[in-house]
Amino acid sequence: MAGDTRQDEEWRAFVPPGEADEADIVPVGTGAGIPLDVIPSPRRDVATRTLPVGKAAARAVSDERDRGTGFVLVPVAMALGVIVYGALPFEPPLVLVAAIVGALVVTAHFVRARPALSFAVLATLAAMAGMGTAGLETWRADTAMMGSEIGSEITGRVVRIEHQATGRIRLTVDVISTARPELRYAPDRVRLSARNVPPDLQLGMTIIGIARLMPPSGPVRPGGYDFAYNSYYDGIGAIGFFLRDPVIAPSSSPLDWRETLKLRLEGVRLDIAARVRAVLEGAEAEIAATLIAGVRAGIPETINEDLRKTGLAHILSISGLHMALVAGTVLVAIRGGFALFPVFASRRPVKKYAATIALVAATLYLGISGGEVAAQRSYIMLAVMLVAILFDRAALTMRNLAISAIIVIAISPHEVLGPSFQMSFAATAALIGAYGWWSERRREPEAVQPQRGAIGRIGMGTLKFMLGLAATSVVAGLATTLYGAYHFHRVSPHALWVNLTAMPIVSAIVMPFAVLSAILIPLGLEALPLKVMGAGLTAVLEIAAWFAARSPIDAVGSLPVTAVAVFTIGLLIMTALSGRLRLAALPFLIVGTGLIASRDLPDVLVSEDGRLVAVAGTGRTLYVNRDRPNGFTIENWLHGMDTDRFEKPTEVETIADALARADTSPGFACAEKTCVARDGEGRLVTHVPDAVSAFAFCTSAALIVIDDATAGPVCRNGEAAIVTKKDVARRGSAEIRFGSDGAAPEIVHAIREPYRPWHTHRQFSREARGMPSYRRE
């Protein structure tokens, strides 16, 4: 008590008279080392509990304002602005956005004396700022994208080489020219695969070859991952493959210093990957190359699937975990080295020296790993925290996380809509919030702990480490499961046990020896640490394979956007607020759970080329109309429809036989290029090759999918619903829900018109213009 009284007096000595309040005093000895913006004052919390509900709520809100919670909400408002920008049915003029931002700045100045109104104005200002950054990014990208599939001779400069697990090589090429035919609207950058490339091909060289170019596709189902959206911001205007192996051509255009620097850095990455493959073999070599140099195209798909099923796929993406382990390994090693010189360490700020070196190491790792968006985001988060140490600030706080989010949103706003951004920041925010909650609990008086011997201390330390690892896995897993389920329609049922088993190996063996290997590669001494790293990876892969073989189906079906939004609000309340205000998250969690439980999955799915149709069946089965459906599409549909298998169609002699079989057996029956099936309610779904074939089903079918872009209004009002090849060419894949009591089916497409910049190219394909697909005579 005496110590507390003295500390209180010391605190008051730095507070102007009249501003000190007994409830505001946080004793220095209480929760030492815990950031004040993470935990509330214990005395204020006790005082709040004794007030009436209304006054207690007002006091709690005042506390949050004093803690600076409003600043934590700035990136949330900015992210909301980015989401609204992406959801708008039109491209907002940047001049208008700038005018609104200016008006809000002026308004904020005049209403600053009214807290509630000021908060609303500032939140709107942050949202408009987010919308403005998204608009600027779209304007900067301005990617020229292919409108339709075409073959052409491509001459271009190689800027990236990726060796895939299938044996093919994927090249990213900056297009210099096209010929036979010369494209009037050629893309600036394309991504092409080839069976073979010249053995002496290097980055920066010019190649020439005949390639089949295709526009980036839209989502395989409404609400799914949009390849065109991400390709637009990545600068990729077309994808495809070389019809013949490309050859090296003389280079005619010199490189500027920026391109030269990028190519040299890319060359360093490929050299590191080659050094890794020279020591290790198989999947271990490819994963080691991924973790050290960011070269991940060569990982076998079976390994990828095992890691996805067991919740370990995050170790392949260079993100917060890897940045933290690299910087943490360097930080601990440097501080341990300084500890060998106690006189120097006691007189110098060795913690700041170590933080500076760790920041340099993280910067080098960012460059070597390829600087992908996820790595950039994680680096920014880590850099903010290390710089905080340099300025004697707490490193892991909500405020620093907010600063990191603001920087990331300003640099790459479109990432807000991606799973990497959402899962990374959700996990970090949840961990900081859980740390704050645990810190509050630890400040309560504890019983005197008995003295333990050396073995007891080691055992207790090990137990605490495992409990901490388990708590971290549970908290981060719960925070990210929602977003993983929304984007990928799957969860990992054994993720907790797998991470408890494998992550100590990754943290203690794989990543430290990866850092050591990277340091020793210039000296040619990387073999031994790489072998130790490879042994660790072998253990991790064996763990993943063991759990994957015993994992049940992980498909959960698509989640409603409203449910994700409501759950996000609940997560935000739990992590950003403190004390009893966290209880306000419970209604949102309950409502979100109810929305998921009451979701309505579609009855029929149609691919964006109009060739593949799937009907939901009983027993977690999906019935399709093609013998060899696209692998990626069908896998996505299985997970999105909460099914675990699909059945191929049955071939019969005549359409009459197909109709008879559809009446008696589930699944598609096909004859004469026409496929028919009935859903669980007996409604007939047909897929026909042209408009003429569709006429026969207008009165008997509930849905007709016509694989013909020239087909017009085939059936009269009140008859079968129609989806044509032109419809999906213009508006993307579709999902259909049949109404009850004979109501018209609800048809939802993945893409809306009028188009946004990343979808404008769709209107130029032959099918989108109502023309038949090109066929060589």
One DSSP character per residue, 709-748 reads: TT----S-TTS-EEEEHHHHHHH--EEEEPPSTTPPPEEE
Q: Is 14 exposed, middle or buried (0-12, 13-18, 19+ CB in 10 A)?
A: exposed
Predicted local distance difference test score (pLDDT) of residue 38: 44
Token pair listed for 60 = 């709690």
Rounded Cα distance, 333 and 329, in Å: 6
| Confidence bin at 545 (pLDDT 50/70/90) | very high
User: Rounded to whole angstroms, how far apart are CA atoms 395 and 35?
Assistant: 8
pLDDT above 60 for 277 = yes
**Can you give the pTM of this predicted structure?**
0.83
Structure confidence at residue 34 (pLDDT): 40
Q: Please give the backbone phi and psi of residue 30, each rounded to the nearest 5 degrees, phi first.
A: -95, 125
Q: Which of the 8 DSSP states describes residue 201?
A: -
- 453-490 burial, b at 16+ Cβ within 10 Å, e below that, comes to eeeeeeeeeeeeeeeeeeebbbbbbebbbbbbbbbbbb
Cβ atoms < 10 Å from Cβ of 681 = 9
Confidence of residue 653 (pLDDT cuts 50, 70, 90): very high
CB of 67 closer than 8 Å to CB of 398: no
Distances (CA, A) of 400 to 38, 216, 387, 422: 11, 37, 10, 17
Rounded to whole angstroms, the Cα distance separating 629 from 643 reads 16
Tell whether omega for the bond before 181 is within 30 degrees of 0, i.e. cis.
Answer: yes
Q: Given this model, what pLDDT does residue 451 score?
A: 67
Contact (CB, 8 A) for 726 and 704: no
Give per-residue pLDDT as tens, 290-302: 888 877 777 888 8
H helical segments located in 646-708:
655-664, 691-694
Given a cut of 80, whether residue 522 has pLDDT beyond it is yes
User: If phi over 0 gives left and psi between -120 and 50 gives alpha, with beta otherwise, what is residue 125?
Assistant: alpha
Q: What angle do CA 364, 365, 369 make, to 5 degrees?
A: 120
Residue 471 in contact with residue 434, Cβ under 8 Å?
yes
Secondary structure E strands in 365-440: none
Interior/surface letters 76-90, b for 16+ CB within 10 angstroms, e for the rest: bbbbbbbbebbeeee
Percent of the chain with pLDDT over 90: 45
**Residue 44 above 60 pLDDT?**
no
Alpha carbon distance 535, 345 (integer Å):
36
Q: Is the pLDDT of residue 639 over 80?
A: yes
For 135-193, how does the pLDDT look when each residue is reduced to its tens digit (9 = 90+)? 999 999 999 999 999 999 999 999 888 888 788 999 999 999 999 899 988 999 999 99
Q: Between vectors from CA 716 to CA 715 and to CA 720, what angle results, nearest 5°?
A: 55
Peptide bond into 216 cis (omega under 30): no
Categorize the per-residue pLDDT at 51 as very low, low, confident or very high, splitting at 50, 70 and 90: low
| Structure confidence at residue 74 (pLDDT) | 94
CA distance 91 to 96: 11
Mean pLDDT of the chain: 84
Q: Please name which of 122, 177, 187, 183 lies closest in space to residue 155, comparing C-alpha atoms.
A: 177
What DSSP line would sit under 492-543, residue for residue? -TTHHHHHHHHHHHIIIIIHHHHHHHHHHGGGT--HHHHHHHHHHHHHHHHH
Neighbours of 123 (CB within 10 A): 19
Read off the pLDDT of each residue in 442-470 and give the average, rounded to a whole number.
68
pLDDT (average), residues 430-441: 78
697 vs 685: CA distance, rounded Å? 9
Question: What's the pLDDT at 776?
Answer: 60
Neighbours of 583 (CB within 10 A): 11
Highest mean pLDDT among 10-14, 152-156, 487-491: 152-156
How many CB atoms are closer than 10 A to CB 113? 7
Integer-rounded Cα radius of gyration of the chain: 30
Phi-psi region of 741 (alpha: psi -120 to 50; beta: other; left: phi over 0): left
Residues 6+ apart with CB under 8 A from 182: 152
**Neighbour-count burial for 693-707, b at 16+ CB within 10 Å, e otherwise:** bbeebeeebbbbbbb
For residue 500, which phi and psi values (nearest 5 degrees)? Answer: -65, -35
Query: What is the full DSSP assignment across 245-306?
Result: --EEE---S---HHHHHHHHHHHHHHHHHHHHHHH--HHHHHHHHHHHH---TTS-HHHHHH
Give the per-residue pLDDT at 366.
85
When pLDDT is averaged across residues 220-248 and rounded to a whole number, the result is 94
Q: Do the strands 650-651 and 669-671 form a parallel or antiparallel pair, or are they unpaired?
A: parallel
pLDDT tier, 443 (very low <50, low <70, confident <90, very high otherwise): low
Residue 8 pLDDT > 70, yes or no?
A: no
Question: Which of these, 608, 689, 711, lies nearest to 214 by C-alpha position?
Answer: 608
- Give the per-residue pLDDT at 54: 64
Q: What percent of the chain has pLDDT over 70?
A: 89
pLDDT band at 28 (very low <50, low <70, confident <90, very high): very low
Task: Give me the residues paired with residue 150 across strands.
Answer: 213
| pLDDT at position 320 over 70 | no
Among 252-266, 386-400, 427-441, 649-663, the minimum mean pLDDT is found in 252-266
The answer to whether residues 165 and 225 touch, using CB atoms and an 8 Å cutoff, is no
Query: By C-alpha distance, which of 291, 298, 295 is closest to 319?
Result: 291
Both structure tokens of 513: 């020896």
Please say whether the beta carbons of 175 and 268 come within 8 A: no
- The pLDDT of residue 444 is 57
pLDDT band at 449 (very low <50, low <70, confident <90, very high): low
Q: Which residues pair with 686 in a beta bridge?
A: 676, 704
Closest CA to 232 of 178, 193, 189: 189
**To which H or E segment does residue 221 belong?**
none
8 A C-beta contact, residue 195 and residue 168: yes
CA neighbours closer than 13 Å in the CB half-sphere of residue 304: 11
Rounded to whole angstroms, the Cα distance separating 422 from 739 reads 34
Encode pLDDT of 671-711 as tens digits: 989 999 998 888 999 999 999 999 999 999 999 999 999 99
CB 673 within 8 A of CB 625: no
Tracing tokens 């509630």 back to the chain, one arrives at 116
Q: Can you spell out the DSSP letters for 582-633?
A: GGGHHHHHHHHHHHHHT----SEEE-TTS--EEEE-SSSEEEES-SS--HHH
Q: Which of 46, 146, 54, 219 is nearest to 734 (CA)?
A: 219
Greater model confidence, 102 or 477:
102
pLDDT digits (tens, 9 = 90+) for 548-578: 888 776 778 889 999 999 999 999 988 888 7
* 739-764: average pLDDT: 90
Residues in the chain: 777
Give the model's confidence band at 420: pLDDT under 50 very low, under 70 low, under 90 confident, else very high: confident
